[in-house]
Amino acid sequence: MTERSAPGSRAPAPDAARGKRIDRLGEALASFATGVTLVMVADGRDDIGTTVSAFCPVSWSPPLVLVSLIADSYPAEVLGRVDRFAVTVLSTTQRVLAGRFAVAGRPGARVLLEGTPHDRGEASGALIPGGGLAALECAAVQRVPAGDHLVVIASVLTVPYVADSGGPLIRFAGGYPSLG
């Protein structure tokens, strides 16, 4: 039976919130297949990009999405102070690109996009690689510290493109399997 709290009171923190290790949590979470995106930000000095699999729609009206970034990462630091960014939903043909933007200590996004067609978003100023399944330009409306991550809820400003065809790049069990 689950213990219920009185309305307005805070629920007790689970053991994991107190630092207890949860056996096989990494394996369990890796068994959840998810799409892969690139989140790109222009911060005035450089173009920053990172591979993100923690992306999801939140609301149709108003149009909201969320991304979750490792809190002590440079992309999270930049998104903590810059409101506008772009998200590209990657296709199966962009596996190498996803890998480039996932490596620790990577150079700026312009260097990583050399040889890859891309544009600069009109609404976000961020770089948007071509060849994805879709691209969205967003404006952060809420930032929520969540454990070792920063969750950014954002309003969708515009959709620069949606591909007519192509398969999604999927992350599953630490790899990028093909569908079918």
pLDDT digits (tens, 9 = 90+) for 106-159: 889 999 999 999 999 999 999 999 999 999 999 999 999 999 999 999 999 999
If pLDDT is split at 50, 70 and 90, which confidence band does 38 have?
A: very high
pLDDT at 19: 61
- Contact assessment for residue 90 and residue 169, using Cβ atoms and an 8 Å cutoff: yes
Q: Specify burial of residue 113 (Cβ count, 10 A radius: 0-12, 13-18, 19+).
A: buried
User: Measured between alpha carbons, how far is 146 from 85 in angstroms, rounded to an integer?
Assistant: 20
Peptide bond into 62 cis (omega under 30): yes
Examine the pLDDT at 47 and tell me if it is beyond 80.
Answer: yes
pLDDT tens-digit readout, 65-115: 999 999 999 999 999 999 999 999 999 999 999 999 999 888 899 999 999
pLDDT at 135: 98
Predicted model pTM: 0.86
User: Measured between alpha carbons, how far is 136 from 159 in angstroms, rounded to an integer?
Assistant: 5
